[in-house]
Amino acid sequence: ESWYLDSGCSFSTPRTPVQNEVVERKNRSLQEMARTILNDFSTPKHFWAEVVNTSCYIQNRIYLRPILKKTPYELWKGREPNISYFHPFGCKCFILNTKQNLGKFELKTDEGILLGYSERSRVYKVFNNRTKTVEETIQVKFDKSKPDKKMSELGTFFENMKVNKNQLKENESGRTEAQQDDKEEREPVNRN
């Protein structure tokens, strides 16, 4: 008990959010942002966890603390966050298919939808429309014209299926999308 008191921890009554206002306000902000994303892009509710994670990831790098004039990321890491690789949630993207041995004239990309960002490295979480899986990859090109509002079409597919964690795939590439962005325009990758 003395360790808790020395650490600044205090006890509160169970199931009384009034006694934990700061955390409850943060949760409310995350829920409001996630609800807006889910409704605005007609995202299937199966992706709610990805939406909340993306909301938290963005809020930690963008929202300023009024008194300190810093983001939570700056306060935690001691440096400004790089947000040059951010793209709108749900925007259409093209994922380079490096997992299959394709012929010379077959498409080398799969169409997908941006779901968020990985917490471990600077890679994107995307939903691959062809394989119906969530992948983590850096080899993505984004269509910046407008977000894909057709996500509601995926809802019927997920009614009887769950996207599980075993379907997450990681890419081992060390290049960042922000580095690629400086060199070339965002268009589908076509290798001959």
Token digits for 14? 């169970």
- Determine, yes or no, domain membership for 63: yes
**pLDDT the model gives residue 183:** 38
Identify whether the C-beta of residue 109 lies closer than 8 Å to the C-beta of residue 94: yes
**pLDDT the model gives residue 109:** 87
Q: Which tops the pLDDT comparison, 137 or 158?
A: 137
Which residue range is the domain that position 96 belongs to?
2-183
Mean pLDDT of the region 57-79 = 87
**pLDDT the model gives residue 69:** 86
Mean pLDDT of the region 49-77 = 88
Q: Three-state SS string across the chain, please? A: CHHHHHHCCCCCCCCCHHHHHHHHHHHHHHHHHHHHHHHHCCCCHHHHHHHHHHHHHHHHHHCCECCCCECHHHHHHCCCCCCCCCCCCCEEEEEECCCCCCCCCCCCEEEEEEEEECCCCCCEEEEECCCCEEEEECCEEEEEEEECCHHHHHCCCCCCCCCCHHHCCCCCCCCCHHHHHHHCCCCCCCCC
Identity of the residue numbered 8 = G
**pLDDT the model gives residue 10:** 77
Other CB atoms within 10 Å distance of the CB of residue 170? 13
Mean pLDDT of the chain: 76
* Non-local CB neighbours of 104 within 8 Å, separated by 6+ positions: 192
- Determine, yes or no, domain membership for 190: no
Q: What's the number of domains the chain is made of?
A: 1
- Determine, yes or no, domain membership for 191: no
Return d(Cα 145, Cα 97) in angstroms, integer. 22
- Determine, yes or no, domain membership for 108: yes
- Determine, yes or no, domain membership for 188: no
Mean pLDDT of the region 60-74 = 85
Q: Which tops the pLDDT comparison, 90 or 157?
A: 90
Mean pLDDT of the region 43-61 = 90
Token digits for 162? 């769950």
User: Dmax over Cα atoms in the chain, in whole Å?
Assistant: 69
**Which tens digits make up the pLDDT trace of 90-125?**
889 999 988 777 777 777 889 999 999 998 888 999
Give Rg (Cα) of the chain.
20
Q: Which tops the pLDDT comparison, 92 or 67?
A: 92
- Determine, yes or no, domain membership for 75: yes
Mean pLDDT of the region 14-37 = 86
